[in-house]
């Protein structure tokens, strides 16, 4: 994989996955797009260190997760120096699908993404690494510079917080549906 054409092919094949990982780790689309571009620039500069016996996708996703973790650490450091701004929420993306099952699945996926995005960084990062990146607890711990036990505890707490957020969103949706049904009956 020494030619520019080979690298361009890897870019086309892996950009969406890298962007998705960056978006999950950083929580914002604009930051994720910038990070994905930086990841591919770094990968291109480091091609000489790429072990061709291993899958390119794993190598590029490792670069992406390490870069995004560094960005999050920088954000935390800047927030400590300059104060925090209000957190931005990710807008749910609409789909043109007209099949009811697809709509319901996408609604659930949007709720899940919003719930993950609302998690504090200390919970979101290990959860995304473990489930989106398919990293083991040891890999999560190594990426975040913590112990395996601490990584497991953070993932457990993240799942509990995620479960609470999704339950609350489901209850809210059901109560809104009941209110609309009552309003229709009285009208």
Per residue in 98-110, pLDDT (tens digit) is 456 666 677 777 8
Nearest 5 degrees, angle CA 153-CA 111-CA 139? 30
7 or 179, which is more confident = 7
pLDDT, average across residues 140-166: 89
pLDDT at 150 over 70: yes
Tokens of 108: 């659930």
pLDDT at 184 over 80: no
List all residues 6 or more positions away from 101 whose beta carbon is below 8 Å from its beta carbon: none
Q: For 20-43, how does the pLDDT look when each residue is reduced to its tens digit (9 = 90+)?
A: 999 988 888 888 999 999 999 999
pLDDT of residue 14: 92
3-class secondary-structure state, position 116: helix
Q: For 49-70, how does the pLDDT look when each residue is reduced to its tens digit (9 = 90+)?
A: 888 888 888 899 999 999 998 8
Q: Are 118 and 111 in contact (CB under 8 A)?
A: no
77 or 52, which is more confident = 52
Mean pLDDT of the chain: 80
pLDDT of residue 67: 92
pLDDT at 175 over 80: no
pLDDT at 96 over 50: no
102 or 85, which is more confident = 102
CA–CA distance, 79 with 75 (Å, rounded to integer): 6
Q: Are 90 and 114 in contact (CB under 8 A)?
A: yes
Domains of the chain (ranges plus CATH)? 1-83 (1.10.1740.10), 98-187 (1.10.10.10)
């Amino acid at each position: 994989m020494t030619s520019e054409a080979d690298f361009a092919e890897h870019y086309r094949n892996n950009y969406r996955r890298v962007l998705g990982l960056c978006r999950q780790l950083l929580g914002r689309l604009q930051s994720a797009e910038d990070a994905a571009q930086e990841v591919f620039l770094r990968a291109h500069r480091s091609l000489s260190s790429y072990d061709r016996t291993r899958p390119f996708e794993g190598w590029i996703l490792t670069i992406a997760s390490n870069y995004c973790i560094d960005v999050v650490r920088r954000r935390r450091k800047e927030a400590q120096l300059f104060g925090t701004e209000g957190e931005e929420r990710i807008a749910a993306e609409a789909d043109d699908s007209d099949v009811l099952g697809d709509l319901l699945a996408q609604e659930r996926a949007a709720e899940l993404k919003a719930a993950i995005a609302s998690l504090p960084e200390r919970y979101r990062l290990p959860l995304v690494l473990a489930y989106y990146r398919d990293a083991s607890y040891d890999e999560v711990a190594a990426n975040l510079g913590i112990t395996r036990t601490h990584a497991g505890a953070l993932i457990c707490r993240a799942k509990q917080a995620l479960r609470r957020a999704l339950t609350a969103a489901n209850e809210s949706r059901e109560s809104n549906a009941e209110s609309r049904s009552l309003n229709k009956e009285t009208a």
